[in-house]
Chains A and B, each alone.
Chain A
């Protein structure tokens, strides 16, 4: 598990609707909440 206080790794992908998504897009605007989960169709 990543340590608190460290700089988060960044990533750039497309989302489920095919829209570009950059993990740095929220910088200066909001927190970024990352919900990791094992598989789709399981509880979030």
Chain B
């Protein structure tokens, strides 16, 4: 329901999300209305979930109310069942591009932006593939960061060719490379 600017800020704070966020802001609630989940009296979109099968037919639709909580495990099961029931069969999904060899996430203590970058690493399931270096506890790592990127600012995503210092850039980079196609 928010604008793309708010989405980008939220995605930054989450450190990157593995699914696209679509603004239904202008015209307000148009998509929600088409799916019958726009709450006109409240001027907001309901917290609702719709699953469309590979042929474009609605197979699941549920509202938990604006203050409710979705049952994520049940939704995952519903998605899998809907794909399994699609009789023409489905092609294999394209795996994420992945991170470049040797990528590392430099963070520091007591830093909100470092925390956001770490959320992104968790949200995108990169714990195993993206090592974390804490420059607050490792002077040699701080020197290494300055040598690689020109400044000791953290968070920083260090790869062989580039150092990204802005948390929004880090979120975008991780989101693009860790998402399934």
Determine the distance from Cα of A10 to Cα of B36 in the docked complex, in whole angstroms: 13
Q: Which residues of A1-44 are within 8 A (CB) of B?
A: 1-11, 13-19, 21, 23-24, 26-41, 43-44
Q: Is the CB of B54 within 8 A of A28?
A: yes
Q: Which of B56-64, B98-106, B107-115, B126-134 contacts A (4 or more CB under 8 A)?
A: B56-64
Whether B37 sits at the interface, judged by CB under 8 Å, is: yes
Interface residues in B, total, Cβ within 8 A: 58
Q: Is the CB of B2 within 8 A of A27?
A: no
Q: Which residues of A contact B31 (CB under 8 A)?
A: 9, 11, 13
**B interface: dominant SS:** mixed
CB nearest to B17 among chain A residues: A16
Chain B residues engaging chain A, CB cutoff 8 angstroms: 1-2, 4, 6-11, 13, 17, 19-24, 30-32, 34-37, 44-61, 63, 66, 69-70, 75, 79, 82-83, 86, 88, 90-91, 93, 172, 175-176
* A/B interface sample: 24 pairs, CB < 8 A: A4-B60, A4-B61, A8-B56, A9-B31, A9-B34, A15-B21, A16-B4, A16-B7, A16-B17, A16-B20, A17-B172, A18-B4, A19-B20, A31-B54, A31-B79, A31-B86, A33-B49, A34-B35, A34-B51, A36-B32, A38-B1, A38-B66, A39-B2, A40-B10
